[in-house]
Amino acid sequence: MEYNRFMINKEILLTEALSVLNPRDLSEDASCASVAAALVTDRGNIYKGVCIDVPCSLGFCAEYSAIASMLTAGESRIAAIIAVTENERILPPCGRCRELMYQVNHENMDTVVFLSDGSRTLKELLPEVWN
C-alpha cells in the first residue's frame, strides 16, 4: 500500500506520544509512562502506549504497549512509529520491539521508525529476523 504522506508525520506522532507521557510511581519500586510511544497504521489510526517499569523483569516498553493496543483494535500494519522520553528525547526501539513489529506483520519491514536524526525503515534497523 502506498501511504498518504500525511499519515506518516513525525510532528503529529510526536504530539500524540507526548499526550500520554506521564511519568509516575505505581508503588515504591514500580513506575510507568516515563517513555511514551505512538504509531499510525496503514488505515491511518493512531495507537499510543507507555512503558511499565516494575521489578523482576515484568515491565515492558512503550512500543509494546502501543502495539498491543493496535492488535486489540484488530490492526497489525504499522506505517510509522515513534517513542519519546520525558525530556522529549526520541528513542530508537530496542531489539525486542523491532522483532515484535516484524513478527506481528511481516510487511512492517517497511515501517518508518522516527529517530532523533530523521527516520529509518524497520528493515534498516532489523536486517536479520528470527524465523
Which residues are catalytically annotated? 63
Residue 84 is a binding residue for Zn ion (CB under 5 A): no
Q: Does 97 bind Zn ion (CB under 5 A)?
A: yes
Residue that is written with C-alpha cell 520491539 in the block? 97
Q: Which of 36, 39, 61, 82 touches Zn ion by CB under 5 A?
A: 61
- Residue 3: name the closest of 88, 85, 90, 119 by CA: 119
CB-nearer residue toward Zn ion: 71 or 94: 94
Cβ nearer to Zn ion, comparing 79 with 81: 81
List 85's β-bridge partners, or say none: 35
With the CA atoms of 95, 96, 97 and 101 taken in that order, what torsion angle do they form, in degrees rounded to the nearest 10? 100
Distances (CA, A) of 62 to 1, 4, 10, 20, 131: 26, 25, 17, 10, 24
Say how many residues touch Zn ion, by CB under 5 A: 4
| Shortest distance in whole angstroms from residue 77 CB to Zn ion | 19
**26, 30, 73, 94: residue in contact with Zn ion (rule CB under 5 A):** 94
Window of 50-58, 71-79, 87-95, 117-125 that interacts with Zn ion by CB under 5 A: 87-95
Which lies closer to Zn ion via its Cβ, residue 89 or residue 96? 96
Helices (H) and strands (E) in the chain, counts: 4, 6
Interface ranges with Zn ion (CB under 5 A): 61, 94, 96-97
